[in-house]
Amino acid sequence: MTSTTSDRLRVTGFLIALLAALSAIGQFATNIYLPALPFISGELGVSPAEAQLTLTAYLLTFAATQLFYGPLSDRFGRRIILTVGILIFIAGSIVCALAPDLETLVIGRVLQAAGGGGCTVAARAVVRDCFDGPALQKVMALIAILFALVPGLSPLFGALLQEYAGWRTIFFVTGGAGAIVAVLMISRLPETLMQRLPKLDLRELVHGYAVVLGQREFLRYALPTCLIFSAMFAFFGGSPYTFIRFLDVSTTEYGFYPPFASTGFVIGGLVVRQLAGKVSGPGICAIGLGVVTLACAVGVIVPAFIVVHKMAYIISVVMFVAGLGVFMPTAMASALQLFPERAGTASATLGFLQMAGAGLGSALVGVYQEQAPLFAYPAIMLVSVVTAGLLFAVLRPSRP
C-alpha cells in the first residue's frame, strides 16, 4: 500500500470484506435468482428462452455501463461512483420484485446491472489504489475467496426463498442486501484516489481506452478472462435447466451444488496466496488455465462416452472452479498492475470484457439448450476455455 493511501485507509478484515461485498453485489444479484428461472417462466407465461433474457440483458448492461464508470471514477473519485451505483442497484431490485410482466422485470434487471457495474469497477479500483506487486495478488486472491462465497451460497439461498416465499422475495432480499452494503460503504470507506484525471472529455475517454487496449500484456490477461467468464456463465445459465428438468434434481438439491463447487474456488485462492511472490503471474495463470481445461474436458467426455449422471457434471464444475480460483485473481491483479494511473479505466475494460463474455455464454446456452440439454453448457465451456488458453499462449510477449 502506498504511504499516502495508508494514512487515510487502514487495511483490516472489515475493509477486505467490504470491498469483496461491493465487488460481488452484482454477482449476488445474478446468482441468487437462477434457481427461480423456471418458476419465473411459468408465472409470467413466457418460454425458458424468454426468461433467459433477464440474465442476458443484465450481463450486457453490466458490461456496457462499466465503460463509463471506469473513467468517471478516475476523474471524480471512487466514493461518488460507489454511492450512485449502489442506489441504482437498490432501485432496480425493487422494480424486479414488483414486476407484473417480463418487460418490467427486464427493465428492473437492467437497472440492477447499471448499479452493480459501478460498484464492481470502483471497488476494484480501490484495491489497485491501495496495493501493488505481490501484495496486490494476495489481496485479490483473498477477495476472490470471499467473492466465491457469493456464487457458492446465493443459489442455495435463492432456492430456499423460491421454495418457501416465491421468486419476488428474492429481489426484495437483494435490495435489502444492497441497502446494508450502502450504509457500511458510505459510513466507513474514505476516498482512495490520490491523483485524479485533470479533465474528462470524449477525446480523453477514447485515449484512455486506447492506452489500455493497446497494451499487449493487458490483452494477454483480459481476453482469456473474458472467455473464462463465458464458460462460467454458460454453467450458471444452463445448469438449472439441465439439472432440474433432465437429471431429476430438485430445486433445493440444486441449490446445494454451487456451495459445494465454491470450495474449489477457496482452494484455488489459497494456492494463489501461497504462490504469489514465488511463481510468476503468467506461471500461475498457466496452471489455472490447465486445470479449467481439464475440468471442461471431463464435463464433456464423461457424459458423452461413459455415464450420464449428475456426479459427472458436479465433479467437472468443482475442478473448473478450482482452476478459476487460481487463474482469475492472478490475471486480474496482473492486468491492473500495468496501469496504476488509470486503475478505473483498466478495471472498467476488464469488467466490460468479462461481462461481454458472460453475456455471450449465457446467450449461447439460451440458443442451444433445448436442442442439446445435456451437452449445451459443457460444450460451450470447453470451447471457451480452450480458446482462452490459445490466446494466452499467442499473446505471450516476445523475448527482447
**pLDDT on residue 149:** 67
What residue type is assigned to position 304 of the chain?
A
At 265, is the secondary structure helix, strand, or coil?
helix
Cell of 206: 477514447
**pLDDT on residue 373:** 72
Cell of 366: 439460451
By the 8 A CB rule, do 356 and 66 touch? no
Q: What confidence tens digit (pLDDT) does each residue in 82-119 have?
A: 999 999 999 999 999 999 999 999 999 999 999 998 99
Phi, psi at residue 279, to the nearest 5°? -115, 145
By the 8 A CB rule, do 242 and 374 touch? yes
At 276, is the secondary structure helix, strand, or coil?
strand
By the 8 A CB rule, do 299 and 383 touch? no
By the 8 A CB rule, do 146 and 238 touch? no
DSSP letter string, 204-253: HHHHHHHHHHT-HHHHHHHHHHHHHHHHHHHHHHHHHIIIIIIS---HHH
Q: How far apart are the first and last CA of the chain?
A: 31
CA 119, CA 336: separation in Å to the nearest integer? 17
Please tell me the CATH code under which domain 3-394 is placed: 1.20.1250.20
By the 8 A CB rule, do 70 and 345 touch? yes
**pLDDT on residue 10:** 55
**pLDDT on residue 147:** 65
CA 90, CA 135: separation in Å to the nearest integer? 33
**pLDDT on residue 5:** 46
CA 288, CA 224: separation in Å to the nearest integer? 11
Cβ contacts of residue 278 below 8 Å, gap of 6+? none
Q: Distance of alpha carbon 121 from its chain centroid, rounded?
A: 11
Cα dihedral angle (61, 65, 292, 19), rounded to 10 degrees?
A: -120
Phi, psi at residue 276, to the nearest 5°? -60, 130
Q: What confidence tens digit (pLDDT) does each residue in 368-384 have?
A: 777 777 778 889 999 99
pLDDT beneath 70: ranges in the chain: 1-12, 144-149, 151-152, 198, 200, 255, 398-400
Closest CA relative to residue 140, chosen from 115, 123, 152: 123
Neighbours of 62 (CB within 10 A): 30
DSSP letter string, 7-63: HH----HHHHHHHHHHHHHHHHHHHTTGGGHHHHHHHHT--HHHHTHHHHHHHHHHH
CA 360, CA 337: separation in Å to the nearest integer? 27
Report in angstroms the alpha-carbon separations of 369 from 42, 331, 350: 17, 30, 28
**pLDDT on residue 6:** 41
CA 308, CA 222: separation in Å to the nearest integer? 34
CA 122, CA 19: separation in Å to the nearest integer? 9
Q: Identify the burial level of 31 via C-beta atoms within 10 angstroms of its C-beta, where 0-12 means exposed, 13-18 middle and 19 or more buried.
A: buried
**pLDDT on residue 174:** 94
- What are the start-end ranges of the E strands in the chain? none
**pTM of structure:** 0.73
**pLDDT on residue 2:** 45
By the 8 A CB rule, do 302 and 312 touch? yes
By the 8 A CB rule, do 325 and 287 touch? no
By the 8 A CB rule, do 95 and 111 touch? yes
Helix orientation angle between 310-337 and 376-394, rounded to the nearest 10 degrees: 30
CA 245, CA 73: separation in Å to the nearest integer? 44
Cβ contacts of residue 165 below 8 Å, gap of 6+? none
**pLDDT on residue 289:** 95
